[in-house]
Amino acid sequence: MFGYILRRLVSGILVLVTVSAATFALFFYGPSDPALAYCPETRCTPERLAAISDQLGLDRPVVEQYGDYMKGIVAGDDFQAGAISIACDAPCLGVSFKLRLNVTDYLWGRFPATLSLAIGGAAIFLALGLTLGVSAARRRGTFSDKAIVSSSLVINAVPYYLLALLAYLYLISEWSIFPASGYYSPFSAGPYAWVKGMLLAWIMLGLVYSTQYARFSRGSMIESLNEDYVRTARAKGLSERRVTLKHALRAAIVPVVTIFGLDFALLLAGTIFTERIFSIQGIGLTALDAIGTKDLPIISATVILGATFIVVANILVDVVYSLVDPRVRL
């Protein structure tokens, strides 16, 4: 098991290096000059643009710049642009001279909002999706089964951003059923303010994501309930509740772990629509704002950060497999 985890870690690091190289290439070989983002439009003469490129080190060979970039991630770096000097400790994801700050520290300050959104939404859609899926599988072919499947298909047919926007407009702005949304630190503002500001965003994420978990867990549970060991457990006289929860569900939940790990990693990488609609200052909204202002260091940093979450989630999912279902160890 240790050797397998070690191989996965090595392959994950190679994936992240590839992503960083591709992101760096897009950064420098894109349709626009990176220095233009820092050149005032009214005073952007060729001489001014050349001076900015020299200050930011953009006129050096690309291989040398990429080496410095990777060195910054491992050992940190110091950036100097004219009179501006910014220290960037490892892992250094660059410096945004448009905002005059360290990108790593900036994203770290936005990460608690995204983490709160991901944890709350994931807790709701995993619990709700599994409950509905197991319930539908146990009552296969009945009215409740058909109702669960049909309602999940209807909800999935409507774009998520439209549902979230309608929920915000009516439940917050129009009818004031929910309080104004936003992220408030549970440590400084208190747990009540934290839950109050995130509640509707959690509910919308949980409601929409739970539909696919309900259908997926239903199919997996139906297959598991038809296995020989489940029939053997019933023949031994075990209660249906124990057969379902202890024997069938443990095997059925294994494929659910896969999609949950990837979905949670994607939530950590940034939920752009949710953060924009509910005014949550997280990583997704930060990336969206950076695209609008062409702040390439922040854009590339969010891409690498998202890739890191996905790679780590894949490794953790493989480890959890062996804990949930011992057959995987074979």
Give Cα 258 distance to the centre of its chain: 14
Report the pLDDT value the prediction gives residue 330, as an integer from 0 to 100: 47
Residue 171 falls inside a structural domain: yes
More confident residue, 34 or 193: 193
Q: How many residues does the chain have?
A: 330
Average pLDDT rounded to a whole number, residues 32-58 = 73
Give Cα 183 distance to the centre of its chain: 17
Query: In this structure, are residues 284 and 272 in contact, taking their beta carbons and an 8 Å threshold?
Result: yes
pTM value? 0.84
Q: 223 and 80 in one domain?
A: no
Report the pLDDT value the prediction gives residue 30, as an integer from 0 to 100: 66
Q: 54 and 145 in one domain?
A: no
Q: 120 and 59 in one domain?
A: no
pLDDT bracket for residue 61 (50, 70, 90):
confident
Q: 216 and 75 in one domain?
A: no
More confident residue, 245 or 267: 267
Number of domain units in the chain: 2
Residue-range definition of the domain harbouring residue 264? 106-329
Report the pLDDT value the prediction gives residue 167, as an integer from 0 to 100: 93
Q: Which pLDDT tens digit goes with each residue over 151-169?
A: 998 988 888 889 999 999 9
Report the pLDDT value the prediction gives residue 31, as an integer from 0 to 100: 64
CATH number for the domain harbouring residue 184: 1.10.3720.10
Residue whose entry in the numeric block shows the structure tokens 């062409």: 294
Q: 71 and 111 in one domain?
A: no
Q: 88 and 112 in one domain?
A: no
Q: Which pLDDT tens digit goes with each residue over 123-153?
A: 999 999 999 998 898 888 889 889 999 999 8
Residue 231 falls inside a structural domain: yes
Burial class from Cβ neighbours inside 10 Å (0-12, 13-18, 19+) for residue 163 reads middle
Q: 172 and 150 in one domain?
A: yes
Query: What type of residue sits at position 122?
Result: A
Q: 144 and 55 in one domain?
A: no
Query: In this structure, are residues 130 and 324 in contact, taking their beta carbons and an 8 Å threshold?
Result: no
Residue 21 falls inside a structural domain: no
Q: 193 and 67 in one domain?
A: no
Q: Which pLDDT tens digit goes with each residue over 280-306?
A: 989 988 988 888 777 888 888 898 888
Helix (H, G, I), strand (E, B) or coil at 300: helix
Q: 290 and 313 in one domain?
A: yes
